Structure 1
Amino acid sequence: MPGQEDVTMKGMQPEDVFELTGVSDPRVSPDGRTVAYVVWRIDKETNAYPSAIWTRAVDGTGEPRRLTSGEHRDIEPRWSPDGT
C-alpha cells in the first residue's frame, strides 16, 4: 500500500527465549482483596529460573509489591487464615 514501509518481521529465534518472563501460582487472600503470585525469568548465565513472590490488590489499584528478592526460586505463595 502507498505510504507503508516494507517491514520485515523476524520470527522467534532460540536466543529470544532468554527474554521471556512469566507469572504463575496466583493465590487470593482470605479477605479477597489481595493476590500473591510468582514472577519468574530465565537466567542464561546460571541456567536457572529465579523467581520472586509479589502481591497486588485484586481490583488492580496501587502498585505491585515484591515480597522476596527473586535471587533464588521463590515459589508457592500461601496465605494464613488471618490473611498474613
Structure 2
Amino acid sequence: MSKQENILQIIPATGWVAVYDVDGVETAESVVCFALVEGDGRGVRAMRADGKRIAFADEAANFLRVEELADFEDEDEEEEGDEEDEE
C-alpha cells in the first residue's frame, strides 16, 4: 500500500470476515468496516478491530482474503464433511 493514504469514507461490513493463515489453518476475524482510501489511487480496504484500535486487515503478514461469513462457514462445513468421509 502507499506510504500516505487518506480514508475518504467508511461503511459497515456486517457479515464479512478477514481470513488469515494461522499455522496452516484458515481462521476468520470479523471485519468492522470497509474504507474507501485514496493514496497512489483509490481503493477499498477492509478494517478489523485490533485491540483498542482499528487496523487494515490486509496489513497482517498472514492475511489471505476477505469474504462473506456465510461463504467461510460453508467452506468449513465442506471440509468437515470430507474429513468424516475419510474415516
TM superposition score normalised by structure 2 = 0.35
Name the structure with the higher strand share. 2
The structure richer in helix per residue is 2
Give the TM-score, by structure 1 length.
Answer: 0.36
Work out which of the two has the higher radius of gyration on C-alpha atoms and give 1 or 2: 1
